[in-house]
Amino acid sequence: MSMNTVGRPTRPEAPQGADVNDYVHPTLTGARGLLQDEALIFELNAWDKTGVDLPDAPAADDLGDLVRKAPIGLPGLSEPEAVRHYVRLSQKNHAIDLALYPLGSCTMKHNPRLNEKMARLPGFSDIHPLQPQSTVQGAIELMDRLAHWLKTLTGMPAVALSPKAGAHGELCGLLAIRAAHEANGQGHRKTVLAPTSAHGTNPATAAFCGYTVVEIAQTDDGRVDLADLEAKLGDHVAAIMVTNPNTCGLFERDVVEIARLTHAAGAYFYCDGANFNAIVGRVRPGDLGVDAMHINLHKTFSTPHGGGGPGAGPVVLSAALAPFAPTPWVVSREFGFKLVEEAEGPAAQAFGRMSAFHGQMGMFVRAYAYMLSHGADGLRQVAEDAVLNANYIKARLGDLMSPAFPNGPCMHEALFDDAWLEGTGVTTLDFAKAMIDEGFHPMTMYFPLVVHGAMLIEPTETESKQELDRFVTALRALAGAVAKIKNGGGDVDRFKGAPYHAPLKRLDETQAARKPRLRWKPVAAAPLAAE
Amino acid sequence: MRYLPLTPQDRADMLGVIGAESIDDLFVDVPAVARRTGVVDLPLHAGELEVEREMLALSRRNRSASEGPFFVGAGAYRHHVPASVDHIIQRSEFLTSYTPYQPEIAQGTLQVLFEFQTQVAALTGMEVANASLYDGSTATAEAVMMATRVTRRSKAVLSGGVHPHYVGTVETLAHAAGVATDRLAPAIDAEDAVIAAIDADTACVVVQTPNVFGTATDVTRIAAAAQAAGALLIVVTTEAVSYGLLKSPGEMGADIVVAEGQSIGNGLNFGGPYVGLFACKEKYVRQAPGRLCGETVDADGRRGFVLTLSTREQHIRRDKATSNICTNSGLCALAFSIHMSLLGEKGLRRLALVNHQKAVKLRDALAAVPGVEVLTPRFFNEFAIKVPANAAELVETLAANGVIAGVPFSRLDPTAGLDDVLLVAATETTPDSDIAFFAKALTKVLDQ
């Protein structure tokens, strides 16, 4: 029995020469201890059940042949069955409440439950987007206050709240830029520049807006190549899109110069604000010359990621772009707040509407509660601790793994390449899967694309030193196992077949893509529910 | 600061390990001109009690739907959500997990998405569905873009029955992408006008049923006309509960179905977060936007689920991707799926019938009010009435009398000239006594 550094027993080690697969014997039912093998709801034979008590109602009135007659094919579960089904499924998920979740560029930080409680107050959760504005003054004021915080923290004069996610915010920013060019007789500008290290959403968004994307080269120290930028700027360029801090986890040192060159060429500077958490309270993007930047409320201001969404992506805008902000927006009036749903006002040149209603109100409530909790002082500390934690990871792993940019500090995430794995047969993917067996969610892999076999680790500010040390200990142990392989001994199967201790072993993604099965299909037609 | 675990001693020790003198050393790459030394001009941190007090004060200045008679719909609907739905979505492993990029430790989320996709496909009568989009309106815009990729044409015909905010969302994106839009005039029955507007350039026809005036339509004839002209039919639904009673869009020949899924499992939330449903014929799936979950096996041959067909997505195809989106509405989709599982086919059909019954009662009560005319011939749980007044002013007056009466059409489209049209909705949450109260209040207000 081996012991980890805090003295807890870990799993027994396999005897020398044993096949790693022998560690786990298949069980008779497919369950593993308390982890149940959970069927699909469609396989529970519950076609005639319901877990909701509803009164009988008379047949439909005046609907004639519009009434559905064929069976739909939906099973129902009684309440205890439903609760058990979903709780069992939940046990097969990793989550930030279980352990460090070091996904670079995703910012998985603690989700305070106070925010959940606030979002569920009936005055926020049970109000309709189209009820009279006189009956929702508190909600509109909350939007106004949130806007004030975002504008103050970024040093920008305007904000559009309605984008529903980071990528939707990018779209909003580029649409404002496009509208500004069209209004200024510059509609011929059809190119957007983006660094090779950009988030994939940046080029996708630009293309969606009808732009051609041209890549800007990167310097050896992971920043935008100014000479290449200058060479590619011209009166055909509508905007540049730069992430700052960038996806290599570095601050763009020349950002002020980037903005100056961009503006001199008549283009706008879009900043991808996915990494705003690294600088909040310490740097205002408005001071850097940014024209538009989305803020992922779910990242910087911690709203739960919920298995991939919902997010919220408000966009701050410079004075030049402010008139083009989409509807709706909030204005403060003598007798209260007004939500302006159709463009009005002398300067308004709104480019249109981003979605049906006013944005992710549920996320606004959570983010605002988070802001109030931290305050101006706490938010500054957020950036400092996020950066400190990432540099600590980099320092503690830098001797065994290979930092992609060893010189100088990183910001809120530490980037490694796979040079240290060379010659071992272990890939970034294998190493990541082996981390699962040690109880950690893998880091972001193979992104950014500019670094070979990239491993991007973002601990965030809500990790304690003790949790970071636990993580470092596990990674150093794994790196030690890699070193053994390098020296001719060691167990490459530990990596190649990992994970062994997750609910499932490695999944066949190729088969899933080659023969897509995107829904359950009945063997025979599902019986119609009896009424 | 209760959310930040590092102690001053931790920070000092960690700086020592890093080899930095102070935290400022870690920010050396920030240009001096942009470094801020003090705190920004905002309030300082507050304890949980203080935050709660401030938020509660704000929330109390809103009148929630459950406080009294309430008849607002037009794209978002008040329904009862079983308590277990919110309980389950608040489980840490669902609430605080991320996009399932590591399927071995995300099977909970992935199986839910697979079940959700199956439920949505069944409800809409389509072959496949994705793992959700932001909401119904953005899903509609994505569907239009998808239709232009499939047909290689660049014009969309938008029926006058489509929610004006959805039309606005489509127009925004279409303008940017160089897609022409033919927006037809608002109409309670829009069928013939839509068919007449189809031509050889039409990539898609967008119709809504039940439409923004509540009209439930059989779109079979429009589907045939669109497809005969080589265009796709996109059917929009803003009230997903209607699928429990009405013939599905798939049965009527839709090529793509998009819907707002808020009605099932999700609260009103002042407009978001909601959940966009997206379903289509299988042959178009590689052109579909958003996330897809697929079934596969693990190394031991056990069934498992993964995100798949990601070759369509922005992280691989970048500027050639089917859309720029990289998240879905995972948690809202989970809520939808749990509520749907609790209802089952039996419960959904009953829920839909109760909704329809309540709306019929509301129609009968309002039709009896002097001067009021019911405009919508066939509806599910919402319809339009014509009032002998300015509907927007009427709604304000009724709010002052305790009734949240509905949505004046002019709020959705001020240019339509339909200032006397009011959209009203009833659901299973509407007591008969509230319907009577509304009719009485309306009679009184109109009489004044």
Residues of chain A above pLDDT 70, percent:
94
What would the two tokens of residue A161 be? 């709240």
What would the two tokens of residue A128 be? 């309709």
Name the residue in chain B with its Cα closest to that of A326: B172
Which residue in A361, A375, A520 is closest to B42 by CB distance? A375
Please state whether beta strands A237-243 and A268-272 pair in parallel, antiparallel, or not at all (unpaired): parallel
Contacts across the A-B interface (CB distance below 8 Å): 711
Q: Is A131 on the interface with B (CB under 8 A)?
A: yes
What would the two tokens of residue A414 be? 């530490």
Question: E-strand spans in B308-434?
Answer: 373-374, 382-386, 407-408, 421-425
What would the two tokens of residue B369 be? 């009010």
List of chain A residues whose C-beta atoms are within 8 Å of the C-beta of residue B113: 307
Name the pLDDT band for A39 (thresholds 50, 70, 90). very high
Give the separation between CA A374 and CA A377, rounded to whole angstroms: 7
Mean pLDDT (chain A) is: 93
Per-residue CA distances from A394 to A161, A249, A415, A432, A466 (Å): 36, 11, 8, 17, 16
User: How far does CA B439 lie from the centroid of its chain?
Assistant: 30
Give the pLDDT confidence score for residue A527 in this predicted structure. Answer: 52
Please count the helices (runs of H) and the strands (runs of E) in chain A.
15, 13
Give the pLDDT confidence score for residue B68 in this predicted structure. Answer: 96
Give the separation between CA B210 and CA B161, rounded to whole angstroms: 9
Scan for tokens 């939330």, then name that residue. B269
pLDDT above 70 for A1? no
Give the pLDDT confidence score for residue A462 in this predicted structure. Answer: 98
pLDDT above 60 for A531? no
Name the pLDDT band for A214 (thresholds 50, 70, 90). very high
Give the pLDDT confidence score for residue A147 in this predicted structure. Answer: 98
Name the residue in chain B with its Cα closest to that of A69: B247
Q: List A residues 215-244 in contact with B (Cβ-Cβ < 8 A).
A: none
Strand partners, A375: B44
Give the separation between CA A194 and CA A223, rounded to whole angstroms: 12
Rg of the Cα trace of chain A? Answer: 26
pLDDT above 50 for A376? yes
Nearest to A301 by CA among A313, A292, A318: A313
Q: What backbone phi and psi angles, to 5 degrees, belong to B362?
A: -65, -45
Please tell me whether residue B129 adopts helix, strand or coil conformation.
strand
Name the pLDDT band for A524 (thresholds 50, 70, 90). low
Scan for tokens 């106070």, then name that residue. A114
List of chain B residues whose C-beta atoms are within 8 Å of the C-beta of residue A504: 103-104, 107, 298, 300, 302, 304
A57 CB neighbour count, 10 Å cutoff:
19
Residue A36: HSE in the Cβ half-sphere, 13 Å Cα cutoff: 10
Dihedral angle sign, alpha carbons of residues B401, B406, B407, B409: negative
Contact (CB<8Å) B88/A96 = no
Name the residue in chain B with its Cα closest to that of A387: B26
Contact (CB<8Å) A135/B63 = yes
Give the separation between CA A280 and CA A274, rounded to whole angstroms: 12
pLDDT above 60 for A282? yes
Give the separation between CA A292 and CA A274, rounded to whole angstroms: 13
Ranges of H-type helices in A240-339: 255-264, 285-288, 297-300
Q: Is A24 on the interface with B (CB under 8 A)?
A: no
Separation in Å, CA of B282 to nearest CA in chain A: 10
Which residue in A97, A110, A165 is closest to B134 by CB distance? A165
Nearest to A361 by CA among A26, A131, A177, A59: A131
pLDDT above 50 for A6? no
Give the separation between CA B21 and CA A141, rounded to whole angstroms: 43
Give the pLDDT confidence score for residue A24 in this predicted structure. Answer: 54
Mutate to test the interface with B, among A93, A205, A215, A455 (most CBs of B within 10 A): A93
Cis (ω within 30 of 0) for the bond into A448?
Answer: yes
Question: E-strand spans in B292-419?
Answer: 293-297, 303-307, 373-374, 382-386, 407-408
Question: E-strand spans in B281-372?
Answer: 293-297, 303-307
DSSP of B292-345, one letter per residue? -EEEEEBTTS-EEEEE--GGGSHHHHGGGSS-S-----HHHHHHHHHHHHHHHH
Q: What is the pTM of this model?
A: 0.96
Please tell me whether residue A210 adopts helix, strand or coil conformation.
coil
DSSP of B365-382, one letter per residue? HHHTSTT-EE--SSBSSE
Separation in Å, CA of A490 to nearest CA in chain B: 22
**DSSP annotation of A461:** T
Give the pLDDT confidence score for residue A11 in this predicted structure. Answer: 44
Contact (CB<8Å) B102/A116 = no
pLDDT above 80 for A497? yes
Region of residue B226 (left: phi > 0; alpha: psi -120 to 50; beta: else): alpha
Give the pLDDT confidence score for residue B190 in this predicted structure. Answer: 81
Separation in Å, CA of A164 to nearest CA in chain B: 7
Give the pLDDT confidence score for residue A33 in this predicted structure. Answer: 85
Give the pLDDT confidence score for residue A71 in this predicted structure. Answer: 94
Q: Which helix or strand (DSSP H or E) is residue B221 part of?
A: helix B220-228
Ranges of H-type helices in A39-130: 79-90, 113-119, 122-125
Which residue in A83, A178, A409 is closest to B176 by CB distance? A178
B102 CB neighbour count, 10 Å cutoff:
21
Q: pLDDT tens-digit profile of A329-364?
A: 999 988 899 999 998 877 889 999 999 999 999 999
Give the pLDDT confidence score for residue A32 in this predicted structure. Answer: 84
When pLDDT is averaged across residues A379-383 and rounded to a whole number, the result is 98
Name the pLDDT band for A440 (thresholds 50, 70, 90). very high
Nearest to A223 by CA among A257, A200, A274: A257
Please tell me whether residue A61 adopts helix, strand or coil conformation.
coil
Name the residue in chain A with its Cα closest to that of B238: A356
Give every residue of chain B whose pLDDT is below 70, as ranges. none
Give the pLDDT confidence score for residue A184 in this predicted structure. Answer: 97
